[in-house]
Each structure stands twice: as structure tokens, then as C-alpha cells.
Structure 1
Amino acid sequence: MKRFKTASACLLLVSLSLMPVQTLAGQVMKTTIDLRLREAPTTASETLDIIPKGTSLDIFSTTGNWAKTSYNSNSGYAGLKYLAPTAQSRMGVVKTTLNLRSAPSLTATILRTIPSYTPIPLYEKSGTWVKTVWSGTIGWVSLNYTKPIDGLPRMKTTTNLRLRTGPSTRYSILMTVPSGTPIPVLTTSNGWVKTWIYGMTGWMSQNYLTPAKFPILRPDVPPDWIIYYSNAKMEWSHTYPQDYHYGYPELDSHYRYSDGKVHLTFDAGFENGLTAGFLDVLKAKNVKARFYLTGTYLRDHPTLVKRMLNEGHQVGNHSWSHPDTVDLMADSMALVYNDLMRWENQYKAAIGQSPARWYYRPPSGIFSERTLGLVHWMGYTTELYQVALRDWDPENQLSPEVTLESLLNQTKQGSIVLLHVVSSSDLEVLGKYIDTIRAKGWSFALP
């Protein structure tokens, strides 16, 4: 998987901070009718030309429900409701049946209801809302229920494959997609995949598709489509939730795995003299774990970090300074990006090379779809957790007995277990916990 260029090329704070609010400017759209090009953004203005149906137009800017464009050397305005997205458009997909409203507010009038998994163009943003057009109606939808198509999982055609209007060979053929073409997966139904390609929505037989690596193409500056993920804050509740479901496989984010094994992980933001003891127990029990370290821990304790790696453990990115990344993201994507890149640069300075695998855990378990989208684009797998305790405060520890009982009650096959290296109770019971899990016939592993 491609990684970023190091050193100065990674310090993109200025360029990211100046990322403009997204509009239609720079996109290509096509006319859905024979459309009048007008001198001004109003139907009362003079008609400069008639643009034929199906004409692709470069969009320069928007004014209300009008798009500024040019045709036959004339510069003017075309009605946005009569323009459709093309293969070059910035697109999203609604995750559920979603109301299209007249303004960016839950109190605004409902204009239409968009069916789930429908592709829509993404125009300018306003807070947690985005302007779009669907079935000729211009309006606003909530970003909490949409996601950018560029961030969806990909599959690739293994043969020249027909794109159909529905999930069956009974449906009409829209076109034939060449072998080797990557497509985004909007949803699936009975062996068929709904996708959006070449400006069209359709279905393909999953029998002739194979998973494709994400992303297909990746520049060295975070793409603007990431801002179309919701930044609504989600976080772990430290009471074990039976219905806990914060896993986003399409963004390579997991709270458990399906391999039936138990996965030990440790978070470390500072050192209080216990980490070597945890490593001793893991070595004696022949268990490998993943340690999520802050950048300041990497900087201050390189000897312990090298011991982790030398004994077969892995080290993951836990941010530089343990901030609330959702709050940072609300201010600027650059703040989150540069915090993660500062960690990467410190790792390379301490170890002399990049990690063998790229793993990330959000500080305090706080994340949003947008932060997950950014770290996924950067090449990380996000590991959340299914098992956790209130064990991070050295001065307020659970008893060893309560700690062991809680860990055993929470752990299931496939669980990702979170412990903290500052916990004396965790250290005291770790060996017995490992032995008890193994007595059930379960095993420990790194995924």
C-alpha cells in the first residue's frame, strides 16, 4: 500500500488549512434537456444559446440554483435542476431513506424522499448538510446519513461485464464495463452489486467481481471528499455494550475479528514503570500484542519501544498528544492529519524505519466517520475494542479480583481487548487471564 512521502512533504498544514469550502466549481455536469443558457441567473434574463441535451459542461461557480458555465464561446447561466452528474462529478450515496429538504435544517420543508443507497451529487456544504439535486429537485440532505462514493469499498471486474438496471439478468443492459475496471460498492442484493460508474447507476453480477484494494489512486494531499463524511462524534462507553456495533469494515475499522481468537492490545500515553512487567508476562506466556503509543511515549521511551518490536509485538499510532480528534477535525482536517504525521515521523526517528503494518486507535475511543475516512485514506487499519476497563488512572484502580472477573466476563472469541500499561491491577492478573482464556480452548493472536 502506498505511503506518504516523508520529511517536508508530510507537513501540509498550510495547504490543508486553506482547503476551500466545496462547491460545484471545477466539476463537469451534463444537460438533461435542451437547456437555455441565460445571460443572468434568472428566467427573466436573455437567452444566449440553447444547449443540446446530453452536453457536458464545465461549471465555474453557482449562484442560488444556477450554475455559471459556457457554451459555444458564450458565458452564462444554466438551471442547476436540469444538470446531472457525470463520471467526473463528486458523488455520495445515501445510507438510508433520506428526506431532501428546502434548506439545511430539520425544520425545513421536505421536498422529496430519496431511497436508500441512491447516488447523489455533492455540492456545497453548510455545517452538517450538503446541497444536492435528485430527480430534478434541488435541496439539502444531512451528512449524517450520506457518505462519499470515493470512500466506499471497491471491487474489480474480472471479465467484460454488463451493467444492468436491476439485480437480475431479466433487467435491461445499460452498458458493458471492461474487464479490470474498479467499481464502488453501494450495496449488495442476492449476489448482485449496486454501483455507480461512468455517470450511471446500475447492477453487476458479483460472480464476476473480485475485491480491489482501496484506494485505487491516492495523491499526497488528503482529498476533499473526506469532508463529506459525517463528523458526528461517537465514543466508547466503558460499560460493556452487548449491542456494540462501532465497526466500519468499508473504512477498515474493527472492534472485533471473525477469526475466533482473542487479540490483546495495550494503550500507552505515559510510563509509570510497569510496561517492562507487561512485556515479561507476555514473553513468558508466548503471547504477541499490539501496543498503541502516543508520539510523546515514542519520543521519551525508545528503549521500551524497541523491546516491544524485538519481542514480536507491533506498535500502532495513538496520536501524538492524545487529543479529541473529532473536535480537531471540526476546526481543520489539517490538525488531525499533522498530528498523525508527527507520530509517524517520531516513529521513524526512534526506530529507523516505518512500521511493518499501519494500525491506528483513536484517543479515548472518540471518533467520527470523517476521522476514520482520513486515517483509512492514509493507509491505516483502525482498531477499536470490544473489551475495556476503567484502568487508565494509576491512582484509581479496580481490585485485581474485579479486574480479572470483568475481563473474563467481557471476552468473547474474536474480541479485541484493551488494557493500559499504567494499570497495576491489569499487570497483576494478566498471566492468570491468559491461562484462563487458553483453558477454554481459545488462543491469542495478532490479526
Structure 2
Amino acid sequence: MSFLYKIAFHAKNMNAVRRTCIGTFILMTSYMIHAEEPVLIFGQTLQKIRDYQQPDIWNNQENIAKLAIKNSRVWDNPTLSIQQTGFNRGQENSSEILLTQPIDLFGEKRKAGHLSELQLQQVVLNKEAYQVQQFLAVKYFWMQILFLEQEVSILKKQFEVSQANLQAASSRLEAGSISKVDLERIAVANLDLESSYTQKNVELSILKNKFSKLWGGKESTFHLKDVSDESWQQYAQNTSLMNVYESTMQLQKQQFEAQLDYLKAQAKPKPTVTLGIVKTQAESNQASDQQLRIGLEVPLNIFNRGQYSRQVEEIKLKLIAQERMRYQREQPNDIRTLDAEIKLLGHQLNILTQQQIPLSESIQSKIFIGFKAGKYAVTDIQLATSELQQRQLQAVEMRRNIFQKNMQLDCLRLGIDSEAILNVDAIQQLNKSLALGMSN
């Protein structure tokens, strides 16, 4: 007995109640689970993730930078020198006690302190950039789950329609108005839909479980509340949404300038003051002499004046200025291009959702009624169902594309690499980059 014949034989001999129970068991289970699932709110979930992901790392980095500022302002240690000559009796001997202290006449310490202050600003900027990227990454992950839930909902509804088609086909087969092959076609299509629906449900469960791990959870039975554009802006107000790339280049410019000033101060002579006592005793302890010694030692920066190090910093300043000009020239063009693509996709989506899908739903409904009455063939109902499903899934995919391009637009405006954000593993990758940055 062939597989398709078994399906036809089984469908023909089932009573109506049994067919309905088996066909809708998965759907009823899904409804019950969905009704019991807790609803997560974006703002609260984002805060849970922030509390769980790297909770103390930024405070520790700020403390390290503040200690570096204090360390850069500490004076150089003085040098104590004790010398003794002439240890034999009857021999002239002398002893010296000298204290040597370098003097910072040209503000080398002050400029080193300014460099450390800029490093603290770098830590603060890194923290703000991380929070911006974290916000966008969670937003992306959130919407991927919602889009997948929409696909599951569409497949669920189409599975219900397929079950009704199978029941109607079984009735027509019993009445002798269709052939066994027609029933087998609908049964196979019904099994395909059931398989697709089950697979999407499993994918959704896996994705939710992966999402819950961002706050240390293990659950996968929850529902995400949809978020409007206005709400995104409200949540974004709690995060400093500055242009990360522009701010980084501006801070780098300040660091290069500060490093250049520090190298200029370092290249200047750093005198050393010596203060001490020299005691001399003549032979046979007949006479002794004690003198105060004051000295000044000035190094001659003749050959190594740090000239090449300064030239390196000057080249860096030129490069950063050129990069800022390039970025400011190209960013508006990229934004206009993406904005035009989003508008075009939005226009296509409106046609699909407002015209094509309602028309396909009407056609499917009419063909189903006609099929039950014996006016249409199996291929008609299958084609109408397949076309409606494809258009509905196409609408979800277009919404996903529009959202993705909007995310790319946000990343472009904020100076963030979209490839590092637009994936469900973005948070883990950000944490790895952060750990590598600390180790370097």
C-alpha cells in the first residue's frame, strides 16, 4: 500500500470529530501556551540585559583612568647619594651627602596629566558607544522575534484553512465528486503546512531561548510586546545617541594634539637640582672642612630632540582631518540613498498589504465556498491558498527588510558599523571586543 493511498484511506474512514481533533491539536496547544505566556516590555527587558551584561566593567575602567591621572601628576622621586673616600688613618678622607631632584620647568607633568584626562574621556565615550550599540542590538533581536511570530501566525492560520480543505475534500470524496488523487494532493499539502508550522515554532522557541540568555534566563515561553516608532524614541532618550564615529575622531584629534604638546615639552631640557653637604677631614685629624654644595645639571638635547616622534603625531593629525572631511562628505549621500530605498519598499508594502493580500483573501474564501459546493477543482483551492500564503509571508519579509534598512540608517547616522549590530549574536560580539580591548 503506497504512502499516499494510506493517507487517502485514513482520511476517508475518519469521522468528522476525529479529523478535526487531530488537525487542530497543534493549533489548540499553541493558543493555550500563547495565552499563558508572560508579556515582556522592551524598556524593562533592556534594563535587565544592561544589569546582567558587564555590570562593573565601566566603573572599574573609570577608576583605572582616574588613578592614571593621579599617577601622571606625581612628582619624580628625588635621589639620595652618600659617598665616602679615605678609610685609612692618617689619610685624607671626605664624605658627601647629596639630594638630587629633577625640576619640571616646561610642564611635562601637566601635559602628561592632560593626556590621562583624555584617556578618561575615552573610557566614557567607549561606555556611551557600547550602550548605543547594545540598545540597537537588543532592538534588532526584539524585532526578529516579532517577525518570526508573525510568520508562525500566518502558517497557523493557513494550517487551519488547510484542515478545512482536507475535511471538505473528504466529504466530496465520500460523495463521489472528486477522485482519490485529489484528496491525496490536499493531504500532502496539509502535511507540508504542518511541517512548516512545526519547524517555525521550533525556530521561534530556539530564538526566544537565545534572547533570554542575554539577561541570564533560560525560558523560551514568553511573548514580546510590539513597540511603535514613538516608543523606540522614548527608550532611546535614556541612551546618549551621539555619532560614535564623529565623537571618536574628535577625541582622537584632541589626543594627538595633547601627545604632540607632551612630546614638545619632553624634548626640552629637564634640569636637575643638587643640594648636599661635603665634609673633608685632613690627614691625622688635624683639620676638617664642611661645605654646602648646590648644583644644576642641564642635559643638552642636541641629537635626540624627539623630532621624529613629533612628525608622526603631526601626520596623524593630518590623516584624522582628512578622514573627518571624507566622512562628512559621504555620510549625507549614504543617508539619502538608504532613505530612498526605504520609501520605495514602503510603497511596495502598501500595495501588497492594502490591495494584493485583501484580494487574495477574498479569492481564497470564494474558491473555498465554491469548492465545498463542487464548483472548483482541488488545484484551484490549492493555488489560491498557496498564493495567499506567499503574499502574506512576502509582506512579513518586506517589513523585515524595511526594519533592517531603518536600522542601517540609524547605524549610519550614529556612526556605527551595522554589520556588528544586525545579527542576533551582536551582544556577545560586543562583549568579546570589549574584553580584547581591555587586554591590549
Shorter-chain TM-score tier: under 0.3
TM-score, normalisation: structure 1: 0.18
Higher strand share: 1
* Larger RCO, structure (CA 8 Å, separation 6 or more): 2
